Amino acid sequence: MSNGESTVGICKHVPNLLSSFVDTFLDYSVSGIFLPRYPNPNPNPVESSGDSSPETSYPEPERLVAIGDVHGDLEKSREAFRLAGLIDGSDRWIGGSTMVVQIGDVLDRGGDELRILYFLEKLKREAEKSGGKIVTMNGNHEIMNVEGDFRYVTEKGLEEFKVWSDWYCLGNTMKSLCRGLDKPKDLFDGIPRSFRGAREECFEGIRARIAAFRPEGPIATRFLSKNLTVAVVGDSVFVHGGLLAEHVEYGLERINEEVRDWIHGLKGRYAPGYCRGRNSVVWLRRFSEEMAHKCDCSALEHALSTIPGVKRMIMGHTIQEVGINGVCNNKAIRIDVGMSKGCTNGLPEVLEICKGSGLRILTSNPLYKEKPESHLASDGKTGLGLVLPAQHVPRQVEVKA
């Protein structure tokens, strides 16, 4: 082979290498994280649109941890993972083969939203290398952001995405200088420059956020399209708000597939109807009322009876000031403890389900801790039978000696 042919053979890889370098540079500049490589070339069927259906049902793992709403609070997110013994002090995965379900509402109310998305993505890849798995879900706030509803966005949240868009556009400029790469699409194509009712200093942040999250937007496609809207793990069904029998009849796999396709820009501007309104899967509160007698146990049991092998529904969305608890004979487990500083700054708690030994709440609440280093609950929170009804659980308040 001549020197000319050798040079051409080497140079043909330069555009892809440059593109990969620019993407890695952008990721680190925005998040401070170098994402590890995927353990396998096709890590998640939810990642790409097409004929393949998202994986909706999973067999019961040896250990399952469920984490509630984190709303833009990276430090509380880390605390929840550490509470369950899933990461070390350097945020590296040490959870082995544990399966984690994060119930949604990563977005809004805080300023670390993008950094949490990267944090979860890093842990997904690390967990898979160890035989573990992390399932992330859509909450109502993910749906709202893809629709462009920013009512609960903070100024820090706008600034975080303005910084991201600056780096993203710089990366696109670098890529456009390389012959052999397609010209990048204008990030802000079709997005207005001003917004009625918003302060002028917020315009750039709003534009960046729309660009990031709109259907087919780079952040929506990269991160949110991997989310499930409903997940069945062993004998538990996970959903952010709640499921009614009509949702099950419509099809859980169908719901996941249609929401994924909508985020990829294949289904129009607005989310499917079952993600909008008070009785939708991400907004429902009929099983989440603080007082047990206000919960619609009949509708819950009807929905559960239509999903073979499922005994309980686990949901977030509605803050439980008393901590994780169960109603309707523990067929409804509510795990949103409002841990974000943008909510009620609740004490982190997570739900643990171990194969053959039932459910347990792991809590940082000093009312329950036996040993400071154990993070394991005592009394009513040692196991669920275990989960005490909401009205009988001490309120989530910090006790000062």
- The set of catalytic residues is 141
Give dist(CA 324, CA 363) in Å, integer: 9
Token pair recorded at residue 350: 């997570």
Distances (CA, A) of 172 to 20, 175, 193: 12, 5, 20
* Cβ atoms of residues 256 and 250 within 8 Å: no
Distances (CA, A) of 321 to 10, 349, 391: 61, 11, 10
Token pair recorded at residue 234: 């062993």
Cβ-Cβ contacts under 8 Å for 286 (sequence gap 6 or more): 242, 244, 279, 295, 296, 299, 300
Token pair recorded at residue 366: 């000093």
Give dist(CA 213, CA 107) in Å, integer: 11
Among residues 220, 223, 241, 255, which one has the least CA distance to residue 56?
255
Token pair recorded at residue 208: 């960046």
Across-strand partners of 358?
354
DSSP 231: E
